[in-house]
Each structure stands twice: as structure tokens, then as C-alpha cells.
Structure 1
């Protein structure tokens, strides 16, 4: 007796559509997280800065679609409290706007990822 089991491969898992959808999901998730992080950062800056001019906030942007940075503003490390002129050189210890942003974004990232994933699972 002989039993021949043969299968055929077709569909998104085999023709590359699933991989393309997964890559598109990761790219979009990184972009969404960076944009959400920038919004949180701006909220934190508005909450902690005592005499804001708006310049530093305007220089904080999403670069390359997934990185939040302050465009190299020279006094950025001083505001964040990691500059060479912070405590103990001066009394100013810096603000914790970057740290709070990281914590708040970490709390939200799973929900953002799950909501976004629903859009992409149908393509896989």
C-alpha cells in the first residue's frame, strides 16, 4: 500500500505578500511611535519649561521617520540635565522632559501597535 501526500503552495505566505505587509507594518509602527513620542515631548516641554521661547520646541522633530531629536540645539543637553554646565557647576539640574516622554511612550506602545496591526493582518 502506498499513500501519496502532496500539497500546493499559494497565497500571501508563499508569494511574498505577507512579508511585505509585515515590513510595511513595522515601518508604519515606527513612524507612529515617533510621532506620538514627539507629541508627548511637546506636552512635557510645555508643562516644565518656565520661560519658553518656542525655539527649542520648534527644533524638536522626527528625523528619518523613527527618531525624535532636537536638531542639535546647543543648549539641548543643558535643558535635559546632561550637559557639562548642569549641577554641580550651576544650580540648574535640568528638566526631565525626555525621561518622562520615554516612560509615557513605553506605556502606550503596545496599544498603538495592536491597533495598527489590525489594519495589516488581513493582508497576510
Structure 2
């Protein structure tokens, strides 16, 4: 008496694992891209005298395999523009623009929805 077991398909040949990894990368990148677009849009709406330099410094970088960061590449006056610098109110009347806060809030609010939309592009690969 003998038993023969055969395991075939995406779960067993690595295609499902690769599809999941591709999904995570795609979701991370799509959410980060959304955050960068929102931050830049907000800057365009609120900056009174934009030179273009600050906006050109906004970049998305990989923090880890599942985490991306959107920031201003460390522009020295970035915290002041955002309203979180040591030179903001009460030292000056300028309270900042809050463009990063708005972008962060929208990413938190829409991140799961974006990830679910991205999932639909990868679900067939996982079957």
C-alpha cells in the first residue's frame, strides 16, 4: 500500500509568494506616490511665493521593504514651512502651512482603499 501526494499550482511552485511580494511593493509604491502627489498639490495651493526649489526637493525613498517615506530631503526651512519649526509662532506670526499634515491625514484615510485597489491587479497571480 502506498500513498502518492501531488502538490501543484501557485501556492506550491512559488508563484503565490512572488505575487504577494509584488503586491506589497506595488501597494507601498502606490500609496507613497499618492502621498507625494497630495503634498505637492497642497504646496501648490498654499505657498504664497513659491520658487520651485522646495517642491523639487520632495522625494519618496524606501525605508524598508514594506515602508516608503515622502519628505523634503531635509531642506533646512522645511519645518518652518510646515509650522513645526522652533521659529514658528510665538516667535513669528507665521504658523506654517500644514501641507505635510494634510498629506499624512489623507494617506491614513485612503491608504487601505488604495491597497485594496492595488490588490485587484495582483489577485489573479495568486490563484
What TM-score, normalized to structure 2? 0.86
Alpha-carbon distance in structure 2 between the residues aligned to 1:100 and 1:89: 23
Matches within 5 A, 1:105-120: 105-120=107-122
Q: What secondary structure, in the 3-state scheme, does the structure 2 residue paired with 1:122 have? A: helix
Q: CA deviation at 1:62?
A: 1.2
Q: Choose from 36, 39, 59 the match for 1:38.
A: 36
Q: CA deviation at 1:113?
A: 1.5
Structure with higher Rg: it is 1
CA displacement, residues 34-63 of structure 1 (integer Å, 9 cap, x when unaligned): 111111111101111111111101111112
Q: CA deviation at 1:107?
A: 2.6
Aligned to 2:14: 16
Alpha-carbon distance in structure 1 between the residues aligned to 2:120 and 2:47: 38
Q: What secondary structure, in the 3-state scheme, does the structure 2 residue paired with 1:63 have? A: strand
Q: What secondary structure, in the 3-state scheme, does the structure 1 residue paired with 2:125 have? A: coil
Which 5+ residue runs of structure 2 have no aligned equivalent? none
CA displacement, residues 59-90 of structure 1 (integer Å, 9 cap, x when unaligned): 11112382111011000011111111111111
Tell which deviates more after alignment, 48-57 or 104-113: 104-113
Aligned to 2:99: 97
How many residue pairs are counted as aligned between the two chains? 121
Alpha-carbon distance in structure 1 between the residues aligned to 2:5 and 2:95: 66
Which 5+ residue runs of structure 1 have no aligned equivalent? none
Q: What secondary structure, in the 3-state scheme, does the structure 2 residue paired with 1:64 have? A: strand
Q: Choose from 41, 45, 49 the match for 1:47.
A: 45
